[in-house]
Structure 1
Amino acid sequence: MHTYLLMQTQLPLYHSLLSRGFPPTLLSFIYPLTPPPPLSPIQTKGKKDKQFIIINYSSSSSSKIFCAMKTLYLLLFFISFLFFFSSELSLRAAAVIDTQSGFLSLMKNSLAGQLRTRWDSAAGPAAYCNFSGISCDADGNVVVIDVSLWSLAGPFPPGICTALPYLRTLRLAGNNVQGGFPHDLLNCSFLEELDLSSTALTGPVPDLSPLQSLRRLDLSENAFSGWFPTSVANLTNLEFINFNEIPGFEIWRLPESIAGLTKLRVLILSTSSMRGEIPPWLGNMTSLTDLELSANFLVGQIPATLGSLYNLQLLELYYNQLEGEIPRELGNLTLLTDIDLSENRLTGEIPVELCGLPRLHVLQMYTNRLTGRIPAVLGNSTQLVILSVYRNLLSGELPPDLGRYSNLIVVELSENLFSGPLPRYSCAAGKLLYFLVLSNLFTGELPAEYAACTGLLRFRMSNNRLSGPIPQGIFALPHATIIDLSNNSFEGTIPRSVGEAKNLSSLFLSNNQISGNLPPEISWDTNLVKIDLSNNLLTGPIPSEFGNLTKLNQLSLQGNKLNSSIPQSLSSLKSLNVLNLSNNLLTGEIPDSLCTLLPNSLDFSNNNLSGPVPLPLIKEGLLDSVAGNPNLCVAFRLNLTDRIFPLCPKPSFRNSLNDIWIIGVCVILCILGLLLFLQRWFSRKNPVIEQEGISSLSSFSYDVTSFHRLSFDQHEIIEALIDKNIVGHGGSGTVYKIKLSNGECVAVKKLWTRKTKDRSNSAQLILDRELRTEVETMESIRHKNIVKLYCCFSSMDSNLLVYEYMPNGNLWDALHKGCSTLDWPKRHRIALGIAQGLAYLHHDLLFPIVHRDIKTSNILLDAEFEPKVADFGIAKMLQTRGDHDSSTTIIAGTYGYLAPEYAYSSKATTKCDVYSFGVVLMELVTGKKPNEPEFGDNRDITQWVTSKIGAKEGAVEVLDKRISWSPFKEEMTQVLRIALRCACSIPNLRPTMNEVVQLLIEADRWKSDANSS
């Protein structure tokens, strides 16, 4: 009798083997007899969950033979058993492949974008492991999904953790994942890295505690709301946390439980609505290499305990309300490379210990209340690249070796109390781009070494006490956009080499002792926008070549000893807003052609000018601008104010005859005009039937206000207001294109009035206000990049605004509807022109103007595609001198272009215009509209571009594919970055329009550098 045990739990396997076709002959090997006896349990033993069956049977074979057969049978069974289970595993693997493939297919269909082109339908098992952005382990399990910056849009599909249970990395950054945080991700127990940055997610962040394997978490630049997820403190494996740019969080404080994350290396919580003091316990998180808490509501002092973070490399606390002194303990951070404490209320001195750190690259502490000197040890630094401490109360001399041993790029020391000589070695490495030391107490001469610093972009040291000659090479810096040496005591002459500064846009030398003649070579610098050489000792003529500076906006030469006549060529400077030639020794007559520049600021006072005062100057009440010229006269009296000038001598007999002819012609024209008037007056008694939209001739009762010399008659305008001349309809009226008898074209905007049908009183009041605003605004400004308003017709029937006609329409149509595509050089020129027009509105007027509706449809293009800013119907003049942050409280503007703070605060500042201009820049670079379906719901072009440009090649993906951008890739990318600076969500971080102009000019240099390399 032999006894064998068959575990009861194996019975299902036995029957399963039979059902799957397992050969019965192989199954019989578990029994020593053939045929095998039926399973007849005799006795059961064991625990309930591990019962087995005792099988008894007898055999006549000898014991040895039986044992040998038993061993053979068991071996064959083991082999069969392995075969069966390998088959089971294959079936399971096939099921896994089907599940993973199914989810990825679902993901491809849910997130529209590049998935459909990058994830092909390759054949074979686990083919998805070869997809771009997908990584699998050796068993074919998906462990990595990286589709960052793939232009995806749509909801994230559910079931990811069920389908991909071994997923370790998920990167969706820079896409438009609609909706809230994907809650299914909380079931991914193996997930180690989660990057959902810049994905436009909204709503609250859930409890993240289930993600215990997580090492890296990036939820930055989203629209989350509610409370900050303090549950991250439960994720003890975290090494990286980034919640930057999530201003929608409720005000919160950093919980001490965060200190339990002992592995944490990077903690980024900038712009996350955090308040309170910086907790001292942060000093216990000694694994930190990067701590960023900027742009929050932090108060109090910087805790000295931060000096215990001996692994720290980056410390950013700027844009808070921190006060007190900078802890000297920060000097213990021997690995620190970058520290930024700017825009706080810090006091005291800059610690010597901090300046002596061996790896310090960036030291930024601008806009605080710091006092004392810059420690001399900083001059010994071999690593310093950026030093920015402007707008403090720092004093004393600079370290003489500053920049001698390091590759300095930026030196910003303006608006302090520094004294003594300038450091001569600041550009020793030849890398310096920005040297800004204006408004200090520096003395001595300008170091000759600066002339060799050919990479300089901005060189500003105005409002100091510097003296001596200016090294000639300074005037010839090839890449400089601003050279500002005004308000010092510099001597010498302006060399002819100034013509080599091809990128120069602003040359400021006022209030010095510069002598000699003005070199005509200045006219070679065709990018010049502003020239201020006032209050020096300049002599000789004003070069007629100045008329070639077509971009010139300001020419200030007052307070010198210039002794020529005024060149007629200056009248060709159509962009000129300021022309000041006063307090010189100028002779001759005032050219009548200069009056075409009115109503610009013109000042010819206190010279030796002679002859008649041009009639437009008298009519505009600008006699003060020609006062102090004893030899000027007036041809005849117009009003009491012109009595300060004598009458001009009677003309000769020949001139008298000419005058008689002129008077005769005028009389004849008056008679003809009277006859025409009588004819029309009689026709009013029998009105003609209106044709093609012509209104009755009573329309001639208009009040006309002109802002420029007109070359047309009002009748010519009114008679052309017919349907066939309509070119468009706006929010406030109808626009006509009218061709005048002299061959020129004008655009006429006919505004609705109180008598217009179907208009409510409230709507009419708005229109009247818009008319008033536009007229008041346009009559006070003049710039080549701002559309010219010729005149305004007002009557009870209608109000007409007559503009110069723009043959290439508006920028919106050119970008989004045009048959031909604008190339990049045209787009860059358009961007620069718009920026210059806005800079004029913001910075060059007595009262700055906020346009409040900058958009591509309000940018008109002339025959040469020169842009002109139009539609000032909602513009607002800021009635506060010099306050560019003054605001209005009436909501206006267009969705997609509105600055975020304007939408919720109703306060319009110049920074709102800067934001809108940033959107326009993005349109020019990408060719996209501000709101496109591909961006996704609740996502605009700003968020879309922001999500792209973070990656190395991400910016290239957004460049307009309709144009050949390859030669201009670097320049377009640079302009894209400028656009993002303009569209920054924090208004104070946006540049001014003056700065934007300079940045766009400098961006053009990228093209030249690329072509030369």
Structure 2
Amino acid sequence: MVSTPPPRSFLCFIILFIISFAAAGAAALDTQAAYLAKMKEQFPGPGMSRWDLTPPAPDYCSFKGVACDRGGNVTGIDVTSWRLVGRLPPGVCAALPALRELRMAYNDLRGGFPPGLLNCTSLEVLNVSYSGVSGAVPDLSPLRALRVLDMSDNLFTGAFPTSIANLTALEVVNFNENPGFDIWRPPESFTALPRIRVLILSTTSMRGAIPPWFGNMTSLTDLELSGNFLTGRIPASLARLAGLEFLELYYNELEGEVPAELGNLTRLADIDLSENRLTGGIPEALCALPGLRVLQMYTNRLTGPIPPVLGNSTQLRILSVYRNLLTGGIPANLGRYSDLNVIEVSENLLTGPLPPYACANGQLQYILVLSNLLTGPIPPAYAACTPLLRFRVSNNHLEGDVPPGVFGLPHASIVDLSYNHLTGPVPAAVAGAANLTSLFASNNRMSGELPPEIAAASGLVKIDLSNNAIAGPIPESVGRLARLNQLSLQGNRLNGSIPEALAGLRSLNVLNLSCNALSGAIPESLCTLLPNSLDFSNNNLSGPVPPPLIKEGLLESVAGNPGLCVAFRLNLTDPALPLCPRGPGGLRRGLLGGNVWVLVAACALVCAVATVALARRWVLRARQDAEHDGAPTSPASSWSYDVTSFHKLSFDQHEILEALIDKNIVGHGGSGTVYKIELSSGELVAVKKLWVPARQRRRLINSSKQQQHQQGMHDGGGGWLGDRELRTEVETLGSIRHKNIVKLYCCYSGADSNLLVYEYMPNGNLWEALHGCFLLLDWPTRHRVALGVAQGLAYLHHDLMFPIVHRDIKSSNILLDADFEPKVADFGIAKVLQARGAAADRSSDASTTTIAGTYGYLAPEYAYSSKATTKCDVYSFGVVLMELATGRKPIEPEFGDTRDIVHWVSGKVAAGAEAEALDKRLAWSPYKEEMVQALRVAVRCTCSIPSLRPAMADVVQMLAEAGPPAGRTPKDKLDGSISKDSAAADQQPNATPK
């Protein structure tokens, strides 16, 4: 049969159809190219330079980050960590109708949620995490095809988008770290998500009980509800989630017992119930799970034993149950069959020996068992546990000789043996401790001599070997430990003289050599370490007391040395140290060295000062008499001042008052006027003059008159008592002796004004040094500033009877002396935290509820809580550290809307692009690696969850480890190119990051 050809008209129709289809396809491709070009225009910068969209026919399907189907339609865009800054152009779905995946994490997406995305009905994957997206989340119901939704770590506000319950194709939902949402409760409609595997709703302001219906979401493998305000019990219904591998409920307010039914979750690998109010025991069935790798239940009220079955685990990596009420022993086989990495069981009531096989598989990095009731020796095998980073067994009842290798662990940063019954010497093996920053072995029964080889552990920051039986001399080599800021050797049997070499320890804050058998003179060179804590009391020292110790009023630091004397007295009320014996010719031996003219000049100076002071008193008295007779007086002397001094003063109030004139003004702050005054001795001081408001002044004057009438006396010092800010600053600074805290000489308090007299800082403040136009600090100087500020804050947080929260740490409150050593200043809003009774409270995060601080430096928890803790200071310090490394201000337009330096730097670090954030003015610096390390420390300090920020004691150690190599110059590098640390200082950084 012969086929009949189709009609010509039909052929024409087919041809026209093909041509029109091809034309439509070409138009679609042109539309896609146009949108990508618009996208490149909206996100200027180096990231998009990879896209060459030059007409006429760009091959965009070959561009990095662009995926296409066979027809040339864009199906995916992945610009993760391209450091883009801008807004997504509108019409993305109209221009890219085949788009199935859009990944834009770790960028800076200006403005709110891109509204055009709601038209992307084919979109399956949307990831805009860590991108600073702010504002409300719209109804997401139109995104019917969505399988993966990741909007974590952003700045969303308003209502939580419960409309995700309508997206029945969802498999992964992640809204972690969006604390700006309104308080909400998860609706039961979430059970309509049949495919959901990962549900992460941590830190989203969720409140109320964990709904039992979560147990009906049987497809879940990962459920994370941490960092919320959840209350009540953990529902046993969660045991129905047979496929669950991760259960994270930490940082809530959950109570009651841990359900034993959780032992039915046979695939569970990671469970974290930490920081709640849980009671009862740790379920044995849970510890027997075959795949369990991480068990974290720290900071609860758990009782009973750690189930011994945990020692049989072949998978366990992390055991963290510190700060509970657990009893019994640590499982003997712990670590014997698994690659154990972390043991954290501190602050419990555990008894028995240390687990001998903990390091059997050579993976153990953390042994933290402090503050228990453990007994027996330190297992010899621990000496060969070379991966250890921290070894802390303090506050137990351990005994026997310390295995020598423990002191020489090559990677350990902290070795803490304090408050036990341990014996043996500090061995020469300590020379192998290349990374050791803190060596604590106080209050033991250690003996032998301190080895000179200790100087080989050049990273040491703190040494506390106090209250042992260590004998022999202090090695001269200790003076080579350039980073040392604490040397506590009190309460031993040390003999010989005090090495002059200790004067070279310029970072030293604490030097305590008391209660030993040291002899000879106190080297005057050690006084260069003032105003830090120096204690030479109760030894056999002899000779004259160095004058600076007398001037600073520190004679108590040399008490109990019968052979000490003073060369001469300026004050007959000084403590009764004897005058040094007279030498030939009737002179005092010692400091004057037999030079008659020096003594004569000194006496003449004393007489002159006394005469001038007496004359000034006569003048003031005459002026006051004239005032009573109606004669005019100068403003400075119109009121009487009471003086509260904290150091030996070389001036009197009249010298200060008469210098409060306009030409000496150097600045005005929010609380008053600052003067720079040169004293008659040539010394410079800074005076902050705070006026008392008129209403308060009238009240104080009336109160003063009433007291005079009732008591027959004048209370001229009442002025400052009415000013809480000034009182706080005076009480705080007056009690502090630290080289990195500005020295307050005295306070003059009166009815019309209050005067604070400080040491003068010739190099101004750090803000001016970093952001001004006249100075460029190199990195070694900046690192020294950072380390000094960290040491000062660590002193405030950890080394005082009651910790002090500064609450306004910022670069303008960090002053620089002539050598650019930093001094933390302006304690007007500081808060002394009162103890809460138990010793355990000392290590908890004490707080105050008065909101204070400066925008850009404030910790994010201020957005939903007025509680100020030491971790707020840590956050603010992290911002300062970012300033030091980047040279940028905390708030700059480049960072984008509602963005600050913390988000900007964190994004760089997360993307592995830290070097791009460094101060471009230091592009020549050979210390870029150290600067990057400092940025990483800063990111840890500014973690949005306060509990995950390190303690300042830890920050000091991290900065010391990240510092420029001691003794190296920039040329060398180019040619070659913590004391009363709380348990929490260790455990918080070691908690598994979420």
TM-score norm. by structure 1 comes to 0.80
Matched, 1:936 2:872: no
Offset of residue 932 of structure 1: 1.9
8 Å Cα contact 1:884-1:909 kept in structure 2 = no
8 Å Cα contact 1:159-1:184 kept in structure 2 = yes
8 Å Cα contact 2:422-2:444 kept in structure 1 = yes
Q: In the alignment, which residue of structure 2 is the partner of 1:997?
A: 956
Moved more, 597-606 or 96-105: 597-606
1:360 to 277, 288, 292: 292
Offset of residue 632 of structure 1: 5.5
1:852 to 799, 803, 807: 807
Letter in 2 for 1:173: A
The C-alpha deviation readout for 1:701-725, integer Å capped at 9, x for no partner, is 9998776678899999999999999
Q: How does 1:76-155 map to 2 (within 5 A)?
A: 76-114=8-46, 117-125=49-57, 127-155=59-87
Matched, 1:203 2:145: no
Whichever of the two has the greater Rg, that structure is 1
Q: How does 1:504-583 map to 2 (within 5 A)?
A: 504-570=436-502, 573=505, 575-583=507-515
- Equivalents in 1 of 2:928, 2:387: separation in Å? 21
The C-alpha deviation readout for 1:257-302, integer Å capped at 9, x for no partner, is 2122111111001111222332333233232221111112223332
- Equivalents in 1 of 2:571, 2:665: separation in Å? 41
Q: 1:879 to 1:346 in 2, by over 3 A?
A: closer
8 Å Cα contact 1:922-1:976 kept in structure 2 = yes
- Equivalents in 2 of 1:972, 1:575: separation in Å? 20
Q: 1:699 to 1:649 in 2, by over 3 A?
A: farther
The C-alpha deviation readout for 1:85-129, integer Å capped at 9, x for no partner, is 222123323432343334334434444545653433333335443
Moved more, 399-408 or 606-615: 606-615
Q: In the alignment, which residue of structure 2 is the partner of 1:270?
A: 202
8 Å Cα contact 1:745-1:805 kept in structure 2 = no
- Equivalents in 1 of 2:231, 2:965: separation in Å? 41
8 Å Cα contact 2:779-2:925 kept in structure 1 = no
Q: In the alignment, which residue of structure 2 is the partner of 1:387?
A: 319
1:665 to 601, 608, 625: 601
Offset of residue 916 of structure 1: 0.4
Matched, 1:642 2:536: no
Q: How does 1:369-388 map to 2 (within 5 A)?
A: 369-388=301-320
Q: In the alignment, which residue of structure 2 is the partner of 1:875?
A: 830
Moved more, 311-320 or 959-968: 959-968
8 Å Cα contact 1:617-1:623 kept in structure 2 = yes
1:986 to 931, 934, 945: 945
The C-alpha deviation readout for 1:646-668, integer Å capped at 9, x for no partner, is 67666664426969756643564
Offset of residue 217 of structure 1: 0.9
Offset of residue 338 of structure 1: 1.7
Q: In the alignment, which residue of structure 2 is the partner of 1:838?
A: 793
Offset of residue 732 of structure 1: 5.3
Q: In the alignment, which residue of structure 1 is the partner of 2:430?
A: 498
Q: In the alignment, which residue of structure 1 is the partner of 2:759?
A: 803
Offset of residue 170 of structure 1: 1.8
SS of structure 2 residue aligned to 1:417 = coil
Q: How does 1:718-757 map to 2 (within 5 A)?
A: 730-731=669-670, 746=684, 748=686, 751=689, 753=691
Moved more, 854-863 or 527-536: 854-863
8 Å Cα contact 1:848-1:884 kept in structure 2 = no
- Equivalents in 2 of 1:217, 1:843: separation in Å? 43
Name the % identity.
63
Offset of residue 468 of structure 1: 1.0
The C-alpha deviation readout for 1:326-379, integer Å capped at 9, x for no partner, is 333333333332221111222333233322333322221111222333333333
Q: How does 1:578-597 map to 2 (within 5 A)?
A: 578-590=510-522
Q: How does 1:484-495 map to 2 (within 5 A)?
A: 484-495=416-427
Moved more, 850-859 or 230-239: 850-859
Q: 1:961 to 1:118 in 2, by over 3 A?
A: farther
- Equivalents in 2 of 1:596, 1:838: separation in Å? 22
- Equivalents in 2 of 1:517, 1:175: separation in Å? 57
Offset of residue 566 of structure 1: 4.0
SS of structure 2 residue aligned to 1:531 = strand
Q: In the alignment, which residue of structure 2 is the partner of 1:902?
A: 862
SS of structure 2 residue aligned to 1:516 = coil
SS of structure 2 residue aligned to 1:330 = helix
SS of structure 1 residue aligned to 2:350 = strand
Q: 1:794 to 1:665 in 2, by over 3 A?
A: farther
8 Å Cα contact 1:959-1:965 kept in structure 2 = no
Q: In the alignment, which residue of structure 2 is the partner of 1:57?
A: none
Offset of residue 727 of structure 1: 7.0
Q: 1:999 to 1:385 in 2, by over 3 A?
A: farther
Q: In the alignment, which residue of structure 2 is the partner of 1:42?
A: none
Q: In the alignment, which residue of structure 2 is the partner of 1:416?
A: 348
Unmatched segments (≥5 aa) in structure 2: 623-633, 701-718, 837-841, 969-974, 978-994
Offset of residue 526 of structure 1: 3.9
Q: 1:135 to 1:729 in 2, by over 3 A?
A: farther
- Equivalents in 1 of 2:82, 2:846: separation in Å? 41
SS of structure 2 residue aligned to 1:665 = helix
Q: 1:213 to 1:797 in 2, by over 3 A?
A: closer
SS of structure 1 residue aligned to 2:238 = helix
TM-score norm. by structure 2 comes to 0.82
Offset of residue 213 of structure 1: 0.6
Q: 1:545 to 1:707 in 2, by over 3 A?
A: farther
- Equivalents in 1 of 2:756, 2:273: separation in Å? 55
Moved more, 859-868 or 243-252: 859-868
8 Å Cα contact 1:811-1:859 kept in structure 2 = yes
The C-alpha deviation readout for 1:598-639, integer Å capped at 9, x for no partner, is 665454444444556667767777665555555566766956
Letter in 2 for 1:79: L
Q: 1:668 to 1:484 in 2, by over 3 A?
A: closer
- Equivalents in 2 of 1:671, 1:996: separation in Å? 50
Q: In the alignment, which residue of structure 2 is the partner of 1:218?
A: 150
Q: In the alignment, which residue of structure 2 is the partner of 1:812?
A: 767
8 Å Cα contact 2:580-2:588 kept in structure 1 = no
Q: 1:113 to 1:557 in 2, by over 3 A?
A: same
- Equivalents in 2 of 1:1004, 1:290: separation in Å? 40
Q: 1:617 to 1:126 in 2, by over 3 A?
A: closer
Paired residue total: 930
1:786 to 719, 724, 741: 741
SS of structure 1 residue aligned to 2:185 = coil
8 Å Cα contact 2:531-2:738 kept in structure 1 = no
SS of structure 1 residue aligned to 2:278 = strand
- Equivalents in 2 of 1:716, 1:131: separation in Å? 74
Letter in 2 for 1:503: N
8 Å Cα contact 1:790-1:804 kept in structure 2 = no
Q: How does 1:620-635 map to 2 (within 5 A)?
A: 625-629=557-561
Offset of residue 476 of structure 1: 1.5
Offset of residue 833 of structure 1: 2.8
8 Å Cα contact 1:153-1:178 kept in structure 2 = yes
Offset of residue 215 of structure 1: 0.5
8 Å Cα contact 2:672-2:688 kept in structure 1 = yes
8 Å Cα contact 1:699-1:797 kept in structure 2 = no
- Equivalents in 1 of 2:431, 2:505: separation in Å? 19
Unmatched segments (≥5 aa) in structure 1: 1-63, 686-694
8 Å Cα contact 1:596-1:709 kept in structure 2 = no
